[in-house]
Structure 1
């Protein structure tokens, strides 16, 4: 039996795009996910300075996540209309979830519950040069602030690319105005089942990227990998053109709310 009143309420909530965007940045965290077979992380370091936005990410505009649909054996998500209404009513303020819904025709995508099992993360070491030898560590560190939001997703670094759920590879640079691309696979329910990130080693004009810029770009792409789209507020790591090095409160609140909601179409037509 369909809940027509519940469906109408969901439409009303989803179309009332009144979410307030937060522009403040959070504390930096440069700890890495644990390595496959290890449980240690590095300690946090201080955040980037105010010159960051003007110097490193003028060309860091990407295309968002590129997707592929494949069937899977995962069960359909539980869709509780009352729980969805409650989550949207109580937790949407301070998020850009309604921008996400507008960008994706009211469809959400996210990783399924993993019962505590981490996603295996592999970062390519070649063809990096001596000046880029820290790039893999920088990328690994970029994922941690997302997991620190409390979402039920963790990452474990692996040296085995064949086992990895998430693969990060390199290109020298893009001809277009972009410095990173995320691709993921989702099933018919909206569960993300696999993903890859491709990062540039140089800006489109040929200038090299430093570790600070790369960390922000990788952090942005990790947000796409988790199911987020671009948002309007330049104070957020998920802005189309990256202007800040850290997650904002809006970034954190949005990903938490995304992982409280079922994937798939939030409102039925």
Structure 2
């Protein structure tokens, strides 16, 4: 009887030993795989500040800048999220808030809210303190086909019209090429559907620095432009030169496809308000 029990016990031990060997050979492989490494504090910081992917570039007033893919809803910078810049004083934030209030209050009388929306950087761009130090402008004589000397007079008339409106910036139209901050150029025709183009540069505070204004001598359909048409085109481009962008109202000279021949009250009020506010960010 005792011998049978010993034999049964040995058989059971043998079965357990075989099972243990099989588990170690097959079932234990998964358990021996190293667990994924947890992110350290440094890894976490790097992941949260890693820049998002870049989409194709976006044209902003003649300059080309990379456009970040919009952040996810609720993330800093997402629509509806107000994030105060960390390096801006409380007084400056109050001043920006007042600027936004004045722009909102002017809705209907001006289109400055549209100008800010078009800039893409929530900044007001304008010439700073140029009443007593006029902006130097070089009016080049053109060599493009259909250029006429009277075109220069038409551009001067357009500058004079803006100055009569009372905008707080003056122009020196007798500057030479070397000293000029603004240069006018002429070309036969644009490849796009336009007759003029203004390329601006500004500093980090929104102060305009330089500009190149290019005017065509033929319209997009190949028709030669006359003196008064050049004057109207110059009125529009000088609006850009002042710091304005497009209006959505067809009665404004700053409508993308100009349909009027003179400044509207909204054109004048928008420019006046722009120069009554400090340049730079309003956010």
Query: Could you say whether these structures have the same fold, taking a TM-score greater than 0.5 normalized by the shorter chain as the test?
Result: yes
Partner of 1:160: helix, strand, or coil?
A: coil
207 and 257 in structure 1: CA distance in 2 versus 1, 3 angstrom threshold:
same
Measured after TM superposition, the shift of residue 184 of structure 1 is 0.9
Deviation digits for residues 70-121 of structure 1 (CA, Å, limit 9, x no counterpart): xxxxxx9x94347526633654441011111222242211111135111122
Runs of 4 or more, structure 1, over 4 Å off, are 89-93, 128-131
Aligned residue in 2 for 1:119: 135
89 and 201 in structure 1: CA distance in 2 versus 1, 3 angstrom threshold:
closer
Contact 1:118 1:154 in 2 (8 A): yes
Residues 1:175 and 2:171 are matched in the alignment: no
Residues 1:97 and 2:112 are matched in the alignment: yes
Measured after TM superposition, the shift of residue 149 of structure 1 is 2.4
Please show how residues 176-255 of structure 1 align to structure 2 within 5 Å.
Answer: 176-255=192-271
64 and 236 in structure 1: CA distance in 2 versus 1, 3 angstrom threshold:
farther
182 and 64 in structure 1: CA distance in 2 versus 1, 3 angstrom threshold:
farther
Q: RMSD across aligned C-alpha pairs, in angstroms?
A: 2.5
168 and 136 in structure 1: CA distance in 2 versus 1, 3 angstrom threshold:
same
State the TM-score, normalized to the length of structure 2: 0.64
Q: Bigger radius of gyration, 1 or 2?
A: 2
Of the three residues 141, 144, 157, the one matched with 1:141 is 157
Measured after TM superposition, the shift of residue 151 of structure 1 is 2.2
Partner of 2:185: helix, strand, or coil?
A: strand
Gaps of 5+ in 2: 1-58, 66-87
Gaps of 5+ in 1: 1-62, 70-75
96 and 181 in structure 1: CA distance in 2 versus 1, 3 angstrom threshold:
same
C-alpha distance in structure 1 between counterparts of 2:240 and 2:96, whole Å? 26
Higher helix content, 1 or 2 = 2
C-alpha distance in structure 2 between counterparts of 1:88 and 1:174, whole Å? 34
Residues 1:88 and 2:103 are matched in the alignment: yes
Flag the structure with more relative contact order, 1 or 2, with Cα contacts below 8 A and sequence separation at least 6.
Answer: 1
Contact 2:146 2:218 in 1 (8 A): no
State the TM-score, normalized to the length of structure 1: 0.67
